Structure 1
């Protein structure tokens, strides 16, 4: 099977790294299963994007242009993508196209129809919902984005959503048949433990010797629960002098709040705020943590499949998180992690304190977390699920082509 994958993410090494990990891991898994895959990253990348550093966000110079030309610019990109995708199709001769569902983009839909190829949509987010909810500074033409997304979703041969919540949204929003959408979550690899010597060096580098380290990996964004994190600091730090918080991640709208909190409370010796770290270095930083945090806030629509949760668990780390969305499907509180009801940040703090004073509990929850990933959530599991889906799409496409051929033959006879 020859698969051609189109992705439109910007800043692959920086802000988009979490969404880049999935196709890299997933499609390399498909290659190991014997398939031929070509990944096409179609958006122009920022200068320096090949380096291990994030890029500055793209901005129009004029605030007025930024507000009113942001969306039309994305819509206009379809023209370039149509041509580039056609060239890739003609050069690669795929059996099937896989395209990321993205705001205003319909080029893959048109090219699939024009070349008679089946199209599978990778739905990692509700693009229109995200734009209207999280990008209020931009002018969004009424109904245009919804019309395009509806057309693309309905035209696709099949859709793979990253969560059950996202599947339900697409079904209800666009009246799509439930059997047209499969759910395949993100995953993680089970890798060899980081050597103790490397862990010791990391701890020395960041001054974490003889500390119980509670870690967080991700951007300092509000939807990652940074407000909950600050409340956890206030509740936990006075009660356990051995606890040290180690925060790893670049950017986010709440980063300044974290920096201000650390400065105002004079907590630089209790909280380490590390900026951007290349993804290749994350495993050894994670290995230096004793407890890991994912304190998501209360959200009415939690459609995410957080890669970091899977990576935390694969690394045999005890997770303290919010009982929300897919996380509540993955973690059984008290068995392979600790969950607290959304909005109950004091319970999150108590979970951290309980784990800090009980190394046996940390070990048990961490080992069960790794076993959960190993049983059904490695990237190999996800690649096999995609293999089955794509094979079914190709079979159905072949049957439709044969039926159309028979009808044409019948009409001509």
Structure 2
């Protein structure tokens, strides 16, 4: 049994939140616990409610900010406070490793680990400096790059969420031997083919349900999905679209649905409690992940693993980790990213072929069962134990 200090320093990602990043945090903490390890969480933001069985401590810095530069420096002060808390925590509860979810302004885990002489593994889900400078605002860029460099050099191991993310890390200077690709996963006790479909009043019993879960953002391909569904619905009156999620594209979707005359054929479920999601996925006859073309598609889609574990036939873009996971698999049909016509045709073909859907469902369930969060946690522990033995 190990004692694990889990660190998450991004105030934009509460431990107990609804989005994928929060689910990822919760699931990894639970997975460590299921394996018999003791976990204490040091977080910049706890969030509301949540599982009281998870030991989560919120640590905040006294410095706050209003403009962009002040907010960035406040985030750095936050990381300083978290590093200090890790060191004081060790005195009262000596832990065996630090596991930090990389955030833009924090090298707290690396700093504390160096002081304490314990291994630190940093989970990296996105090239945050690159994203922030390209799509948002980044005032203290030199400091952000210095923190990234410290994390890449100071982590005993880096858990990259995809091969593409791993390539970014090695290209940025991380030693290849310290980079380990550990994709996302699913709680197979919660998501499995035996979950009964959730019946909703606005979806007819005989509907052929096309499904999507996740954030409604431009890089998730909801525009491609809506256009393909419109073409499919024109030929198949039983077609119904179920979208579980919310985000910046919600207004565009609502307008498209009205303009296309699809109001009675589309259900917008909004953000759904993660515990209710399996029943809604079970209601889907086909589940979609229609990502558009992208130069750097480094994502490891949670939705994909949840679809598979539920035994849903999957239509997904032939891109990034999705291609690597499902190429050649009967669980999914991979399509050219952004190809509306191909997605509409695939929907028509699957609707007309229940035998193929059944075969895809069986293969999806088999594949999904291989990606439980506990396997990810076990691999992290194995890596950490190897680092401790070599020290």
What TM-score, normalized by structure 1, do the two folds share? 0.84
Deviates more, 1:22-31 or 1:238-247: 22-31
Q: Counterparts of 1:7-406 in structure 2 under 5 Å?
A: 7-9=8-10, 10-14=13-17, 17-40=19-42, 42-45=43-46, 49-50=48-49, 65-135=66-136, 138-173=137-172, 175-191=173-189, 192-194=192-194, 196=196, 199=197, 202-250=198-246, 252-332=247-327, 335-374=330-369, 376-397=370-391
Deviations 1:170-212 (Å, cap 9, x if unpaired)? 1011x2221111111111233454454xx2xx32433331100
Note the aligned Cα RMSD (angstroms): 2.2
Deviations 1:350-369 (Å, cap 9, x if unpaired)? 11121122111111111101
Judged with a 3 Å threshold, the aligned counterparts in structure 2 of structure 1 residues 385 and 139 are, in CA distance, closer, same or farther, namely: closer
Judged with a 3 Å threshold, the aligned counterparts in structure 2 of structure 1 residues 27 and 51 are, in CA distance, closer, same or farther, namely: closer
Tell me the SS of whatever aligns to 1:20. helix
Measured in 2, the distance between the counterparts of 1:69 and 1:232 equals: 45
Tell me the SS of whatever aligns to 2:227. helix
Asked if the contact 2:9/2:78 (under 8 Å) is kept, the reply is no
Shift of 1:242: 0.7
Judged with a 3 Å threshold, the aligned counterparts in structure 2 of structure 1 residues 115 and 13 are, in CA distance, closer, same or farther, namely: closer
Measured in 2, the distance between the counterparts of 1:80 and 1:239 equals: 59
Tell me the SS of whatever aligns to 1:117. coil
Deviations 1:316-355 (Å, cap 9, x if unpaired)? 0001010111100111356110101223232122111211
Deviations 1:207-256 (Å, cap 9, x if unpaired)? 33110000111111111112212221232121111110000112x22111
Judged with a 3 Å threshold, the aligned counterparts in structure 2 of structure 1 residues 66 and 259 are, in CA distance, closer, same or farther, namely: farther
Shift of 1:90: 2.4
Asked if the contact 1:215/1:289 (under 8 Å) is kept, the reply is yes
Deviates more, 1:353-362 or 1:236-245: 353-362
Asked if the contact 1:333/1:339 (under 8 Å) is kept, the reply is no
**Alignment coverage as a number of residue pairs:** 373
- Structure 1, unmatched stretches of 5+, are 53-63, 398-413
Deviates more, 1:79-88 or 1:269-278: 79-88
Shift of 1:44: 3.0
Shift of 1:65: 4.6
Measured in 2, the distance between the counterparts of 1:139 and 1:186 equals: 28
Measured in 1, the distance between the counterparts of 2:15 and 2:29 equals: 16
Higher-Rg structure is 1
Judged with a 3 Å threshold, the aligned counterparts in structure 2 of structure 1 residues 7 and 142 are, in CA distance, closer, same or farther, namely: closer
Judged with a 3 Å threshold, the aligned counterparts in structure 2 of structure 1 residues 78 and 32 are, in CA distance, closer, same or farther, namely: closer
Measured in 2, the distance between the counterparts of 1:315 and 1:66 equals: 45
Asked if the contact 1:106/1:148 (under 8 Å) is kept, the reply is yes
Measured in 2, the distance between the counterparts of 1:78 and 1:121 equals: 14
Asked if the contact 1:214/1:289 (under 8 Å) is kept, the reply is yes
Shift of 1:280: 0.7
Measured in 2, the distance between the counterparts of 1:141 and 1:188 equals: 36
Tell me the SS of whatever aligns to 2:123. strand
Measured in 1, the distance between the counterparts of 2:234 and 2:329 equals: 25
Deviations 1:18-58 (Å, cap 9, x if unpaired)? 12333433343333333322233x11345xx2279xxxxxx
Tell me the SS of whatever aligns to 2:346. helix
Task: Tell me the equivalent position of 2:58.
Answer: none
Deviates more, 1:301-310 or 1:28-37: 28-37
